[in-house]
Amino acid sequence: MKIFVAGGTGAIGRPLLKQLLAKGHNVVALTRSQERTQSLAAQGIESVIADVFDPDSVKGAIAHAQPEVVIEQLTALPRTYSRESMTAAAPVNTRIRLEGGANVLAAAQAAGVRRYLRQSIAFWGIPGAGLADEETPLSLDASPAVAADARLITEIEHRLLKTSNLEGIALRYGFFYGPGTWFNPDGDVGQQVRQQQFPIVGNGEGVWSWLHIEDAAIATVAAVEQGNPGVYLIVDDQPLVVREWLPAFARSLNASPPPRVSVEDALKMEGGADIVYYQTQMRGASNAKAKRELNFQPRSLKWVVDTTVALS
């Protein structure tokens, strides 16, 4: 199939382009950077230069490429994962998802694209017992940044799924780890854990659902080829509470165990209510639908498996 990827040069875009090529698809990647067009060409990938905030150039790029499928992996997230950097990046990240994404979607619709897949987020199922599935309501009334993200996801998924004459698929990914992500040993959270700057808050009972970046790419290609229109949670098989995964991550880095902070003290930090939500209330997600319909077979979280074996 001919597939146009917006965001193909980012953390998930890079393995995604490789997977698409490996499956024999014909890929066109969008980038703003002349330099990146050269490295894409070296990998045998056609590219086109455009900024998604310029609707005419995006429209021209997609009309020219005439793809059957468009995949949107646009973000404007920072290299560092901290409350401050995430807060600073939020306005442009929201804008790229809302306005940039709207321009890509409108261009795809105008070009008669058959299928459109976009990045979404698996973290925001409303807290409750067990794992969230695709029908679980989102945490629209949670702490400020969580609620804002849940509302954003609701809006962009709704916009896609109600677009006529196009098969829309929203892929709600878990926490990315692996090369090029915050949670890689050389990524920003890896550094923070080494420097004792990533504490466990309160009981650390928030449940995180993980996803290796290459599994994200594999699941996305499966959704291109055989997914049904609608929403898929794309997460691994091991939802883990913070007090389990964070010490395991520290062990895998040969770092000291993470420090502990009370909920009361965390609430005094900037964005404290969001930190407390992530650490004590977040709900894991179920991959049952992705397994059933996409034959998704995620790998195990290596730092947890390896360090548990090492300790036993």
Ligand X SMILES: NC(=O)c1ccc[n+]([C@@H]2O[C@H](COP(=O)([O-])OP(=O)(O)OC[C@H]3O[C@@H](n4cnc5c(N)ncnc54)[C@H](OP(=O)(O)O)[C@@H]3O)[C@@H](O)[C@H]2O)c1
For ligand X, the binding residues (CB under 6 A) are 7-13, 30-33, 36, 51-53, 74-77, 96, 100, 173, 175-176, 181-182
CB of 75 to ligand X, least distance (A): 3
CB of 158 to ligand X, least distance (A): 20
Nearest CA among 266, 204, 213, 250 for reference residue 235:
213
CB of 7 to ligand X, least distance (A): 4
CB of 105 to ligand X, least distance (A): 14
Closer to ligand X by CB, 14 or 251: give it: 14
CB of 312 to ligand X, least distance (A): 29
Closer to ligand X by CB, 2 or 95: give it: 95
Residue with smallest beta-carbon separation from ligand X = 10
CB of 95 to ligand X, least distance (A): 9
Closer to ligand X by CB, 182 or 248: give it: 182
How far apart CA 101 and CA 94 sit, in angstroms, is 10
User: Bridge-partner residues for 200, per DSSP?
Assistant: 260
Judge whether 123 and 235 are in contact, CB under 8 Å.
Answer: no
Closer to ligand X by CB, 21 or 263: give it: 21
Nearest CA among 57, 151, 155 for reference residue 104:
57
Residues ≥6 apart with Cβ < 8 Å to 65: 2, 4, 28, 48, 111
User: From the CB of residue 310, how many other CB atoms can be counted at a distance below 10 Å?
Assistant: 10
Beta strands in the chain (DSSP E): 2-6, 26-31, 46-49, 69-72, 115-121, 167-173, 175-177, 200-201, 207-208, 210-212, 230-234, 240-241, 260-261
CB of 14 to ligand X, least distance (A): 8
Closer to ligand X by CB, 80 or 267: give it: 80
DSSP state, residue 31: E
Closer to ligand X by CB, 7 or 199: give it: 7
- Torsion angle in degrees (nearest 10) through CA of 117, 121, 127, 128: 40
Instruction: Dump the DSSP string for 240-305.
Output: EEHHHHHHHHHHHTTPPPPPEE-HHHHHTSTTHHHHHIIIII---B--HHHHHHH---PPP-HHHH
CB of 176 to ligand X, least distance (A): 4
What's the half-sphere exposure (Cβ side, CA atoms, 13 Å) at 184? 12
